[in-house]
Amino acid sequence: MNASLQGDFKINGLSLRSFVNLSPLEAEEVRRWRNHPEIRRFMYNDREIDSIEHIQFIESLRESSHSGYWVVHEENRPLGTLSLTRFNPLHHHAFLGIYANPFDSTKGRGKRLMEALLALSFSHFGLHTLKLEVMEENERAITLYETMGFVREGCWRDYIFKEGRYRSILLMGILNETL
């Protein structure tokens, strides 16, 4: 298993550039997406990220063997970002993260991003299973995950306290049936 999570990749006609290889301007663009209200509202940490925190986060990835983050482009069009965290080479699992570019409304970008992440996880990294956590009210993301073959594997009730009330978290997963 190749565990270099800080590499760049070309997958299904998409280019995946590691956060650690972005120019300062490109990194700033990613921060703009991450701070957009439509992205923040579905994140555990929903406060705005300032530029110092963002740079420190990217720096922290350089030596990481358990987290990788990528910006995805289709030709020159930025589709969004993908991540693998809690990457475990012993048990062949990881957790995914995804957000689409909130300034682009092309239909199907979620599916394109997910197809690339599944190919990266299963074909390149040789994972056996990919897991995720999603807020129960995030219907758009849940629809996407189910379309891609993820199934509901559990639920953490009232796990997150956000805007004055508790939110439950669905745990979903997909197996690489070829391994």
Q: How far is the CB of 41 from ligand COA (least distance, A)?
A: 8
Q: How far apart are CA 142 and CA 133, in angstroms?
A: 10
Within 108-147, the residues that bind ligand COA by CB under 6 A are 108-111, 134, 138-141, 143-144, 147
Q: Would you give the binding string for ligand COA spanning residues 68-97, x where CB under 6 A is met?
A: ------------------------------
- Across the beta sheet with 68-74, the strand order is 9-11, 14-18, 68-74, 77-88, 93-100, 129-135, 165-175, 151-162
DSSP one-letter string for 55-84: HHHHHHHTT-SS-EEEEEEETTEEEEEEEE
How many residues bind to ligand COA according to rule CB under 6 A?
A: 19
Q: How far apart are CA 23 and CA 100, in angstroms?
A: 20
Q: Residue 43 carries which DSSP code?
A: S
Between residues 105 and 178, which has the closer beta carbon with respect to ligand COA?
105
Q: How far is the CB of 103 from ligand COA (least distance, A)?
A: 11
Which member of 69, 70, 95, 99 binds ligand COA (CB under 6 A)? Answer: 99
The answer to the question of residue 9 lying near ligand COA (CB under 6 A) is no
Between residues 20 and 39, which has the closer beta carbon with respect to ligand COA?
39
Q: At what angle do helices 139-147 and 109-119 cross, to 10 degrees?
A: 50
Binding site for ligand COA (CB under 6 A): 38-39, 42, 98-100, 107-111, 134, 138-141, 143-144, 147
